[in-house]
Amino acid sequence: MDRALREPRVQGQCSRVARRQGEPDALRRDPSSLAALDAERVLAHYEKVIRGLDRPPIVMGHSFGGAFSQILNDRGLGAATVSIDGATVRGIPDLPVSTLRSSLHVLANPLNINKAVPFSEKHFRYAFGNTLTEEQSREAWERYAIPAAAKVLFQGAMANLNPRTPFKVDWANDDRAPLLFIGGGEDHVIPAKVSRKIAAKYGRSNAVTEYKEYPTRSHFTAGEPGWEEVADYALSWAADHARVVA
């Protein structure tokens, strides 16, 4: 194991790769930057950042960030990858009712595709706050909720119908970095059965693939009480499995 991966400098480097631009209040007031986003632009940004680093970082992503982390992993970027409640990519047709319900306010109207669509408190409660009290969910919604970049959601939803989708990987890629999937048993957006199916399909590759499930955790696993356990496990696993570059 490369012990340097545990140093704060490197951990900070990893978080810098994943940091989004803009604070929730500012993005709610002016969501135009979110409306302009698509998957290609997001992936190009992260690829540029990673290739500009002195050495490959640990790459972690949540939800659609988990799908992006898989794609970056497939492109040979990163020393190790963790997909937390990661969205599906082409080849996984599962679209459970709870997933549809979580994003229906965006996907039900095709005219939303070039918009940034807000999450109401009710939608947030179902998608993210289902293991929280009503008061905790409202506080989380007020603090963290920003409009959804609708084009990215539409691209993800249509991945299996579009052979040129950016949401695709080589499931049998033996040269990729180790990949960990973390699923939540109470996740409404990406149910654990979907996370398990994604991880299983990567079994076509000889590269390291592992799966960890937290039965009582929701899609808000990185923010709900007990998030430290998930974060510690993810970072420890990634540091232990990271490929060392000479």
Statement: residue 5 has pLDDT above 70: no
When pLDDT is averaged across residues 60-69 and rounded to a whole number, the result is 98
**95 or 132: whose pLDDT is higher?**
132
Q: How far apart are CA 216 and CA 81, in angstroms?
A: 23
Q: What is the pTM of this model?
A: 0.90
First to last CA, the chain: 13
Residue 246 has pLDDT above 70, yes or no: no
Tokens of 172: 């049998």
pLDDT score for 244:
79
3 pLDDT higher than 80: no
Mean pLDDT of all residues in 59-82: 98
CA distance 199 to 206: 13
Average pLDDT for the chain: 92
Amino acid 95: pLDDT? 84
pLDDT bin (cut points 50, 70, 90) of residue 245 is: low
Confidence at residue 11, expressed as pLDDT on a 0 to 100 scale: 43
Q: Is the pLDDT of residue 60 over 50?
A: yes
Residues 171 and 200: beta-carbon distance below 8 Å = no
pLDDT in tens, 21-56: 568 999 999 999 999 999 999 999 999 999 999 999
Question: Domain 3-241 adopts which CATH fold?
Answer: Rossmann fold (3.40.50)
Q: Is 193 left (phi over 0), alpha (psi -120 to 50) or beta?
A: alpha
What's the average model confidence in pLDDT over 230-238? 98
Would the pLDDT of 167 be above 70? yes
pLDDT, residue 20, reads: 45
Region 197-219 average pLDDT? 98
Torsion of CA 192, 194, 198, 200, to 10 degrees: 70
User: In this model, does residue 146 exceed pLDDT 90?
Assistant: yes
